[in-house]
C-alpha cells in the first residue's frame, strides 16, 4: 500500500480489562392504572418495558381499599379478560371479560370512584423483558365512570306464572 507507513513495535499491548456486565434485577412496577367502565378496560402503565406475553390477568385484583386486609370488596380478574401490550411495551390494556364487568357493575363499594379503585398485582402478574417478575404491589387507579345507558336485550312474558323477565 503506497503512502501508508507502518511502524513495528516489539512491546506487547496490554489487554484492556473488561467493563463487566450487571444483569437487570429490578422488578417491574405499575406506574399508573386506569379503570374505564365505559370501555370495560383496565389500562396499566409500567415503569419499564414488559414482556408482551407475560401479563397474567388472573394475578390482578381490583379492590376497594389500598390495603388488601382492609378491602371489603374485590374482584380477581378471570382468564376471559384479554391483554394487548403497546408497541413500546410500557402499556397493557386489559379488555375485561363479561363476568368481570358484571361483577364490578354489581359491586356496591368497588370501582364506584377513584377512592374505591385499586389494583393489586400478585407476584409474577407480569415480567420485564429480562424475565424479572413483579413484586406484590397495590396501585391507585383513576376511574372513568360507566356513562352507557342500559340497553334491553330481550324480554319474556309468562302469563301462567304472571311474570315478566327482562335481560339487559
The pLDDT tens digits for 20-58 are: 778 889 999 999 999 999 999 999 999 999 999 999 999
* CB-based contact 75:54 (threshold 8 Å): no
User: What is residue 126's predicted lDDT score, i.e. its pLDDT?
Assistant: 97
Residue 72 has pLDDT above 90, yes or no: yes
- pLDDT, average across residues 113-126: 95
CA 117/CA 78 separation, integer angstroms: 17
User: What is residue 21's predicted lDDT score, i.e. its pLDDT?
Assistant: 77
pLDDT category at 82 given cuts 50, 70, 90 is very high
Q: What phi and psi, each to the nearest 5 degrees, are found at residue 45?
A: -105, 130
Element (H, E) at 106: helix 98-106
- pLDDT, average across residues 66-80: 95
* CB-based contact 61:122 (threshold 8 Å): yes
Element (H, E) at 101: helix 98-106
Summary mean pLDDT of the chain: 91
CA 17/CA 11 separation, integer angstroms: 18
User: What is residue 151's predicted lDDT score, i.e. its pLDDT?
Assistant: 87
User: What is residue 14's predicted lDDT score, i.e. its pLDDT?
Assistant: 64
Residue 156 has pLDDT above 90, yes or no: yes
Partnered with residue 45 across adjacent β-strands are 32, 91
pLDDT category at 1 given cuts 50, 70, 90 is low
Please choose, from the candidates 115, 80, 108, the residue with its C-alpha nearest in 3D space to the C-alpha of residue 95.
80
Amino acid at each position: 500500500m503506497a503512502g501508508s507507513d507502518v511502524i513495528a513495535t516489539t512491546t506487547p499491548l496490554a489487554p484492556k480489562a473488561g467493563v463487566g456486565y450487571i444483569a437487570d434485577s429490578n422488578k417491574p412496577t405499575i406506574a399508573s392504572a386506569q379503570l374505564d367502565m365505559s370501555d370495560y378496560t383496565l389500562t396499566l402503565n409500567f415503569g419499564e418495558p414488559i414482556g408482551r406475553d407475560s401479563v397474567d390477568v388472573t394475578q390482578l385484583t381490583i379492590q376497594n381499599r389500598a390495603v388488601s386486609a382492609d378491602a371489603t370488596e374485590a374482584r380477581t380478574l378471570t382468564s376471559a379478560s384479554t391483554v394487548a401490550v403497546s408497541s413500546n411495551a410500557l402499556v397493557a390494556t386489559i379488555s375485561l371479560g363479561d363476568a368481570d364487568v358484571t361483577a364490578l357493575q354489581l359491586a356496591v363499594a368497588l370501582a364506584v370512584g377513584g377512592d374505591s379503585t385499586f389494583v393489586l398485582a400478585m407476584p409474577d402478574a407480569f415480567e420485564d423483558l429480562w424475565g424479572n417478575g413483579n413484586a406484590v404491589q397495590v396501585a391507585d387507579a383513576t376511574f372513568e365512570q360507566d356513562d352507557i345507558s342500559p340497553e334491553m336485550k330481550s324480554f319474556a312474558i309468562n302469563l301462567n306464572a304472571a311474570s315478566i323477565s327482562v335481560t339487559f
